[in-house]
Structure 1
Amino acid sequence: MNDIWLTRILPHPQSRDARRDLADAVGLHRRLMSLFPDGAGPDPRASLGVLHRVEDAPTGPYILMQSGHRPDISRLPTGYGAAATRELGPLITALHAGGQIHFRCVASPVRKPGATTRAHYNLPAVVPLTGAHADEWWMRQADAAGLKVLTLHSQPLDSATGVRGQRGTGQQRIRHARTRFDGTAVIIDPDQLRAKLTDGIGRGKAYGCGLLTIAPSRSRAGGTTP
């Protein structure tokens, strides 16, 4: 299988660039993509396999990024923060049916009503899901990822927001409702799980949603961090 890299970036609180990126989902996406070469095609994020999320820790927030190519962390601005990268290939290759894991995913659970339903109830094209409806959405995603969920805890998070595009050329405000899903599961289909680990889950992948991380059940969720 292709290489998969996991990078952890611990922004320095004194860095103005880092503070600005953490407050702007679009800006953070641009920052992370700047760590890779140009010329990756019409959808560079997907071509390079870049997924990320921001995690909170007692020492402050940090950025967790997965990619199919090793990033050049020297491209971060001077004083931006500390960064470390490691390869996930051995962990992903070792996945096997019957293995028990911890999982974590910050995702954007939604449903897309049909045109008739939208017109009747005056609904938008995409409806964010919360509570039990978000949990049901996650159970479907986990099934598609080759997992049988054993335990699940979900927590709503602030939406990922930002402005995409240049002034004067048609700016677009983006907003993705987010829920963090933590729990344990048994691997049913390792190949399906590998595909979802690589591709991500749901919408808003450029803006901090969809990164699924796993760890053996003897470790805590999120234990794949470098």
Structure 2
Amino acid sequence: MYLTRFRLNTHRSGSRRLLSSPQAMHAAVLGGFPDLLPTSPVPSGAAAEPGGPRVLWRVDRNAKAEVFLYMVSPSRPELTHMVEQAGWPRSDPETWWSTHDYTGFLSRLEAGQTWGFRLTANPVHSIRRKDGEETKRTAHVTPRHQAGWLLKQQAGRGFEVLRREGTEPALPEIDGYELLVHGRDDSGFDKPDPRPHRKGARMRVPVVTATFDGRLTVTDPEALRRALCAGIGRAKAYGCGLMTLAPVR
């Protein structure tokens, strides 16, 4: 596995186009893998079973002119095409993007370790509005419900979000955790309408996202490794599901 960071030049029109469309960014990311077929989420030769390693990506907007694309992938990407449309083509090649072997870091995860984490996800749940009706997937839109969604994801993912010491939460199942929900977005994107009677028209694809920052404890290293390589939640093709870890200061 590999972890890649690419800085986007926000002054370029190509960069703005990618940042305004998860679909366009997804296509640009997959364009960095020569052995990746358009219909496959993972490069040929990689594990393709459900829940196996795949290409994941996330955009971090740290400041107006400091925007990074993070990627986790089974093979090393080649991103010259992104430099040409969204980077600094005439700058030092070493500043274009950096890719590191992720396997060594993953192998060093142990139960009891504490890490800071960031995750951009698509928090959804299935509901039935009336008896006899089929369930419908619906997005969580409030920070409280989005935080609750993440806490439910802990089961089987190999981690637990830390609780704040010395707090008396109003709702113990949600409050009192070292967790911040921010960067909430429900803009989605447009794509061609596939319905025959709507030829030439476009349709809106709603994608609700939220970014989670917090601290966690490793409870099951193997399960956490799977989550870091396969992603958490839905809409992985559109910049969701990639969790990254960082040392706790």
For the criterion TM > 0.5, the same-fold answer is yes
Q: Any conservation in 2 of the 1:45–1:206 contact (CA below 8 Å)? A: no
> In structure 2, do the counterparts of structure 1 residues 39 and 56 end up closer, same or farther at CA, with 3 Å as the change threshold?
closer
How far, CA to CA, are the matches of 1:45 and 1:25 in structure 2? 18
Partner of 2:184: 157
Cα distance in 2, alignment partners of residues 32 and 94 from structure 1: 27
Q: Identify which of 167, 175, 195 aligns with 2:226.
A: 195
1:175 shift after superposition: 1.9
Alpha-carbon contact 1:26-1:161 (below 8 Å) kept: no
Which residue of the other structure, out of 23, 28, 32, is the alignment partner of 1:26? 23
Query: How much has 1:189 moved relative to structure 2?
Result: 0.3
Match of 1:75 among 81, 86, 91: 81
Alignment RMSD (CA, Å): 2.6
Query: For residues 66 and 131 of structure 2, what CA distance do their matches in structure 1 show?
Result: 43
Give the structure-1-normalised TM-score.
0.83
**Aligned pairs, number:** 212
Q: Secondary structure at the match of 1:61?
A: strand
Report the CA distance between 1:163 and its aligned residue.
2.6
Match of 1:133 in 2: 145
- The change in CA–CA distance for 1:138 and 1:45 in structure 2 (over 3 A counts) is same
**Identity score, percent:** 29
What SS does the aligned partner of 1:71 have?
coil
Q: Distance in 2 between matches of 1:110 and 1:138?
A: 10
CA distance in 1, matches of 2:31, 2:132: 39
Query: Quick check: 1:92 aligned with 2:106?
Result: yes
2:121 equivalent among 107, 123, 130 = 107
What displacement does 1:89 show?
A: 1.4
Matches of 1:111 and 1:185, distance apart in 2: 23
CA distance in 1, matches of 2:191, 2:78: 24
C-alpha distance in 2, partners of 1:91/1:131? Answer: 31
Moved more, 107-116 or 187-196: 107-116
* CA offsets 1:44-69 (integer angstroms, 9 cap, x no match): 35857111111112342221111111
CA distances 1:153-198 after superposition (whole Å, capped 9, x unpaired): 1125223522334884775532211111111111110011001001
Distance 1:116 1:176, change over 3 A: same
Give ranges in structure 2 of 5+ residues lacking alignment.
88-95, 163-177
1:208 aligns with 2:207: no
Structure 1 unaligned spans of 5+: 219-226
Separation (CA, whole Å) in 1 of partners of 2:117 and 2:13: 32
- 1:166-177 correspondence to structure 2 within 5 Å: 168=199, 172-177=203-208
